[in-house]
């Protein structure tokens, strides 16, 4: 029976739904000159914000202005909204028309 890992590694909180998840389950964003950018490879340094890569959590984070809070200032979230649109297009249900 597996016991809990001796070290809780890479646990992050989604700024959308505020749920703690493993870093690999979350999408990392970084702030570059007051602009929020997607950090797909998690290679950029500095302060990061973590969100589930789902339309629900991305929208929550935008609605609650969680990025402003995470980066302590008014942020340009165009990249987040673009990412949200892309995600929604990928997840769009196929209507059976025709």
**What is the 3-class SS of 53-82, one letter each residue?**
CCHHHHHHHHHCCHHHHHHCCCCECHHHHH
Site residues for Zn ion, window 34-63 (CB under 5 A)?
52, 57
* Residue 14 touches Zn ion, criterion: CB under 5 A: yes
> What's CA 92's distance to the chain center, in Å?
19
In the list 16, 36, 49, 75, the residue contacting Zn ion (rule: CB under 5 A) is 16
Q: Which is nearer to Zn ion, 30 or 57 (CB)?
A: 57
Binding site for Zn ion (CB under 5 A): 14, 16-17, 52, 57
């Amino acid at each position: 029976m597996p016991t809990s890992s001796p070290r809780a590694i890479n646990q992050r909180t989604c700024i959308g739904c505020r749920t703690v998840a493993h870093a690999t389950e979350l999408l990392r964003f970084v702030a570059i000159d007051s602009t929020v950018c997607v950090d797909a490879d998690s290679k950029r340094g500095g302060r990061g914000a973590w969100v589930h890569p789902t339309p629900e959590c991305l929208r929550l984070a935008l609605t609650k202005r969680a990025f402003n809070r995470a980066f302590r200032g008014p942020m340009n979230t165009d990249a987040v909204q673009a990412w949200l649109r892309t995600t929604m297009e990928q997840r769009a249900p196929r209507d059976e028309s025709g």
